[in-house]
Structure 1
Amino acid sequence: MASAATWVITLAVIAGTLLAFWHLRAAEGIRRPPAWAGMAHGLAGAVGLGLLLLALRGPARGAAEGTGSFGRIAAWLFGGALAVGLAVWARRRRGPMLTVLLHTALAVTGWVVLLAWAVLG
């Protein structure tokens, strides 16, 4: 289950990266990403978080390597990224860039912690 969560969240991170570059290119006259693309990104992240929460209910992993709590830390970070991402989506056209940066920081930090937990655990 941890492997599935890692793959789904990795896909959400890749989609978020593509959306961010697409959004930044909108300043050059290119249209912004459609709403459905952001919703698909959020849905992938939410599914990945759900899979991670299911994986955390299973047998403990990573205690011998010192990464035992990384799964829970990643889940909290992804939960925060999901909440902030919903705020970004709700304020789609007029949201402050700081909100987007907070969403990105939480998600990328959670992803790195998740990868450490999945690989070392």
Structure 2
Amino acid sequence: MLITAFTILGIAVLLGSVLAVLYMREGAAAPSWRLAALHGLIAIGGLGCLGLALRGPPRGLDQGAGSFGMIAAVLVALAAVVGFALFSARLRKRRLSGTLIGIHATLAISGFVVLIAYVMA
């Protein structure tokens, strides 16, 4: 289940990268809200799988990485909260805050990097 969560969240990270590139292109229209919704749904699915995987036996205790799974889950959950705020602003046709996008990306990527360390432990 942990590998499934890792794969799903990896897909969400790639889709988020595409959204970031589309958003930063000068003169281009904002990315479709449907693409953002797909990104969010995939990420929430990955977070759910990660939550299920963390219910299993602990791993990485001998390497000191026993809490990495929970840390990754908290970071991804915080990114989901910020992402929901971004999505709701997008649906209300407001300009997305670059600061919020940066916070969302930082939380999500940090969570994914910690998850990589947890999977490799």
Task: Choose from 59, 62, 71 the match for 1:61.
Answer: 59
| Segments ≥4 residues shifted beyond 3 Å | none
Per-residue displacement from partner, 1:72-113 (whole Å, max 9, x unpaired)? 000000000000000011112323211110000000000000
C-alpha separation in 2, matches of 1:20 and 1:71 = 26
Superposition TM-score, scaled by structure 2 size: 0.95
**Secondary structure at 1:91's aligned position in 2?**
helix
TM-score by length of 1: 0.95
2:79 maps to what in 1? Answer: 81
Q: Secondary structure at the match of 1:8?
A: helix
Structure 2 runs not aligned, ≥5 long: none
Q: What is the CA deviation profile of residues 37-85 of structure 1, one whole-angstrom value per residue up to 9, with x for unaligned ones?
A: 0000000100000000000000111101111100000000000000000
Q: Could you tell me which amino acid in structure 2 is paired with residue 67 of structure 1? A: A
Q: CA deviation at 1:32?
A: 1.8
Partner of 2:19: 19
C-alpha RMSD of the superposition? 0.8
The alpha carbon displacement at 1:33 in A equals: 1.0
The equivalent residue for 2:31 is 33
Report the CA distance between 1:35 and its aligned residue. Answer: 0.6
Share of identical aligned residues, percent?
A: 42
Aligned partners of 1:95, 1:38: CA distance in 2, in Å? 12
Structure 1 gaps of 5+ residues are: none
Query: Which whole-Å CA distance do the structure 2 matches of 1:58 and 1:81 have between them?
Result: 24
Partner of residue 113, structure 1: 114
